[in-house]
Each structure stands twice: as structure tokens, then as C-alpha cells.
Amino acid sequence: MTAPDLGATGTTDWSIDEATEEPRGPVGKAFRLSAADSLSLGNALSGFLAVVVLAYSAIDQLKSVGKFVPDPRFFGTAVVLLLIGATCDLFDGLVARRFRASAMGAELDNLADVISFGFAPAFMVVIWGGFDGHLPLWLVLAAAGSVLLAGVIRLARFACVKTRSGDFMGLPIPMGAMTVVSVVLLFQPSVWTIAGIFAIAWLMVSRIEYPKPKGNLAAVVLGWMMINVACLTIWAAGLAGGDELIQVGAIMQIAIVSAIPLRVLMFKRAQRRDRRAL
């Protein structure tokens, strides 16, 4: 090694202490929260409260009765909180584009989504099937873990990969969470329903493109969330027709998520047929 390769302290240039480097990025601006960030924090808080409600239902029954039987009303409350989180998630991007986004807005959004649409529905799966006794606990935990891990991978990939069409690659994590919730509300724990949860997790990390809610589609998504909140409120209040509304809403959610991959497969098959014809 020649003399020019050494610094004044006798070390090479590539071994400079990183602590002496200047901070990069808008450090001052990173501490300023925008209106969009407040919505992201509301999303995270909603997911946390959903977990608290489910945990409280289990702890309260174990203390008073000695055994745990999932109470649908607590599930309904948790789902309402997740829908509130989903509404915050839908609006934070719109607010950021309309007004101002902070330097850490995207990171806050992803972290909030992990809590509300990754951990909360995974915990719901454990509460739903882990105490049932019909399924081995390891299988229920594997299904719940697949939801959480698929959601984390889905968010990380969303931050790194952009599709040419601008649509989502893989099932968006809020829609995936709501589909898991639909399975939990609609069915009893079984091997088939656990298989459905694994399928939802696979859709989140798949390469199937789902349309991004923009313009009229965003309004339709918001309307769909408000209808779900209303149906859950009627169901939780014990009013007539509440059970039927929950069943219809859950079936429609599962049908929508299932129909898009089938539509994509049919479209690609038609494209291959056209290429052969040429």
C-alpha cells in the first residue's frame, strides 16, 4: 500500500469512522407531522385498539368462566376499528397529495399498516381458531403467521417495486386483512377455512395485479367501507337482519378478492390465444 492510500491517522479512506459523517436528508423536517401523518397514526391506533379488544375478551372470559369461547360482538368491535383504520389509510395518501407530506410520511404509513392490517388480523385468527380445540394450535399459528409475514413482505415490496400500469402487485394489505376478517366472521375454524387464510396470504405476495383505487373507484371503496361499518353496527346492536347483513358483506368481500385473479387469468389466456392466432 502506498503513502497516498493512507490518511493522516494511517488508516485507509474506506475505514473512516461513520460517526464523523454528516447526517443526510431533511433531518429537521423529519420531526414535523403533517395532517396525513395524523391519519397514519390514527390507523395505527385503530389497529392497536382492535388487538386490545380481542385480548380483553379472552382475558375477561378466562378470569370469570375459566374457559374462552370467542364472542362475536368483540369481533365486531375489532372489525369496526380495523375499518376505521382502513378509512384513515385510504385518506392519508389523498391528504398528503392535496396538502403536504412530511419526510417520514411513507414510513409512518407502512408501519401503521403492519399494525392494523398485519398484526391485528393475525391476532384475530389466533383468537378465532387457537382456542377452538378442533385444530392443532401449530396450524392456527402458522396461518396467522402467514398473514403477518405476507403483509410485511407486501408492504416492503410496495416500497421498492412499481408496476408499469400503476396498479398494485399482489392483493393490497388492507383488502387482504378485510378478507381474513370475512373468513373469521363467516366460518367456523376448520382445515378448509385455514387453507383459505393461507390462500389470502399467498395472494398478498403474488404477482397478480389489483386495480388501484383512484377517482370513482376510490369513492366506491370508501362507500363499501361505510356500508360495512353500518352493517356491523346493526349486527352488534342485535337488530333484526344483522346476521344476514354480515353474511352477505363477508361473502361479497371474498367474492371480489377471488374474482380479480380469475379475471386476470382469463385475460392472460385470451392474450396468449391472440398471439397464437397471429
**Splitting the chain (278 residues) into consecutive groups of 10 residues, what average pLDDT does each group show?**
47 44 51 77 93 89 74 81 85 74 78 93 92 87 96 84 66 88 88 93 85 66 71 68 73 76 68 67
Residue 13 lies in a domain: no
Residue 50 lies in a domain: yes
Residue 275 lies in a domain: no
Contact (Cβ atoms closer than 8 angstroms) between residue 112 and residue 40: yes
Beta bridge pairs of residue 209: 169
Residue 274 lies in a domain: no
The DSSP line for 117-140 is IIIHHHHHHHHHHTTSSSS-HHHH
Contact (Cβ atoms closer than 8 angstroms) between residue 169 and residue 163: yes
- How much is the pLDDT for 259? 75
- How much is the pLDDT for 140? 94
Residue 195 lies in a domain: yes
Residue 217 lies in a domain: yes
Residue-number span of the structural domain to which 79 is assigned: 32-266
Structural domain count of the chain:
1
- How much is the pLDDT for 80? 84
Q: Is the pTM of this model over 0.85?
A: no
What contacts 24+ positions apart, CB below 8 Å, involve 235-243? Answer: 235/76, 236/73, 236/76, 236/77, 236/80
Cα 148 to chain centroid, rounded: 8
Residue 218 lies in a domain: yes
Question: What is the C-alpha separation between 53 and 35, in angstroms, rounded?
Answer: 27
- How much is the pLDDT for 248? 75
For residue 175, give the CATH number of its domain.
Answer: 1.20.120
